[in-house]
Chain A
Amino acid sequence: MRYSGLKVITEGLFGNKGWTPAWRDPAPKAEYDVIIIGGGGHGLSTAYYLAKNHGITNVAVLEKGYLGSGNIGRNTTIVRANYFLPGNSEFYSHSMKLWEGLEADLNYNVMHSQRGLINLFHSDGQRDAFVRRGNAMINQGDDAILLDRDGVREHLPYLDFDNTRFPIYGGLLHPRGGSARHDAVAWGYARGADQRGVDLIQNCEVTGIDIENGVVRGVQTTRGAIRAKKVGIVVAGRSSQVAAMAGMRLPIESHILQAFVTEGLKPVINHVISFGMGHFYISQSDKGGLVFGGDLDFYASYAARGNLPMVEHVMEAGMTLMPMIGRAKVLRSWGGIMDMSPDGSPVIDKTHVDGLFIDCGWNYGGFKAVPASGWCMAHLMATGEPHEVARKFRLDRFATGHLLDEEGTGSQHNLH
């Protein structure tokens, strides 16, 4: 079924009786050409692009819970292409271009809103760093505008510009940055993959990976064994557990990142604002809630909930930056399981097992990468060669020293 404005109107006139489920609920077949482990954003987009770009439709996505039940349904929905390093820059630029055509491509409203992202700076040195970053973004073909203090004030008059510790010197505006409806991204890719013949199999946990003579043969699941010629591991925070089934030890530590949302308010924040010095960022959802977050809790955890010190820190940073939000009531907070890599950049690569591929290490920035990650993982699995914009996301780069350390803090687990 194709969605359209006309369809919404006609269904509305006739009691909304004509809608059909957005995807099937098939039982697993005995064998597939490709199995994707993980029915989150990255797994679903991988399946979608395998079918759409490469004509590989005998594909199953195996999800242990329900589709989109992981980080794709729990993030703060920011979409941006403001990376600096060669390797990251072209990848996120590619992702941004895919975002810009995503709704037409998927025939699904993902509520992608290019409302502009502003990164604030608070010193001359930081301004220099942001000029450099902005130039890198422009060189990549994306957009960046350096705002001085008055320029920021025009966009964000409600900030505390004269904060003693972090007076606002200006900001780097990334006009094409913004946000999207996170669940809808998962649902749109799921529907698109299903329409092209991909089997989306929920409540199907992978319990083992079958390998014979160094070649992958399939997987064991809670719904029986399934054979496959190729298998992709796309499971974010659970990457270490699934990769261990293939005898691998990954450069990943899973950490908590908390996020918060307030009660619904009238429109007050039009942009995505990032206050890096305070470890705070905020935007307002279309429903009206202020969506904001900060840094990791900084210890390995799978609990999907955080601790109070970071809650306090994030609230303090928010109040420091924009005292006006002090009367808003926080509705809920939650924590996601982040697959943190030592250098803060991801992995899309083959493994030591023939036919087994892995896409992981998205740290706290996986949402914006969903389209390009799926695009590049599908390319890798279909052709056996890395896509040109993801060729530096190698699994062995920590051993070889070809790091992608965007923050420049060092290749160590507790530093990103």
Chain B
Amino acid sequence: MRLTCPLCGERDRREFYYCGAEDYLHRPAEGAPLAEWDNYLHLRDNPAGVTKDLWYHEAGCSQWLMVTRNTVTHEISAVELVAERKA
């Protein structure tokens, strides 16, 4: 697998650390009910198909990337900088 980092270009999978589904971007507000924290930390859609997940370009630009890819075919359709994403 190779990911095309918006800053560094196409790089080997080994340069990246996988964090998990993009759910980690949707942190509940302080004081939110426990169920929301459980949902944020543990519960996942885990789709068989297109998903968005977070990868850290550890051996490159140190940016967090949001990767849109297909979990069945391993096809990667988009790689964006998390810092520049439109909420």
- On A, residues with C-beta under 8 Å from B are 238, 240-241, 244, 249-254, 298-303, 307, 309, 342, 398-399, 411-414
Contacts and interface: CB of A to CB of B under 8 A. Distances in A.
Interface size class of B (residues with CB under 8 A): 20 to 34
| B interface, over-half SS | mixed
A302 B49 CA distance: 8
B38 to A, nearest CB: 4
B73 to A, nearest CB: 7
A303 B38 contact: no
Given A241-B48, A411-B41, A303 B18 contact: no
Contacts of B42: 251, 342, 398-399, 411, 413
B27 to A, nearest CB: 14
B74 A253 contact: no
B1 interface: yes
5 contacts: A250-B43, A252-B44, A298-B18, A300-B51, A413-B20
B21 to A, nearest CB: 7
Given A250-B43, A342-B41, A300 B35 contact: no
Nearest to B12: A309
Contact of A300 (B13, B21, B43, B73): B21
Contacts of A238: 48
Contacts of B20: 253, 300, 412-414
A308 B51 CA distance: 22
A184 B20 CA distance: 35
Given A303-B71, A399-B35, A249 B14 contact: no
Contacts of A302: 48, 71-72
A43 B14 CA distance: 37
Contacts of A299: 1, 18, 53
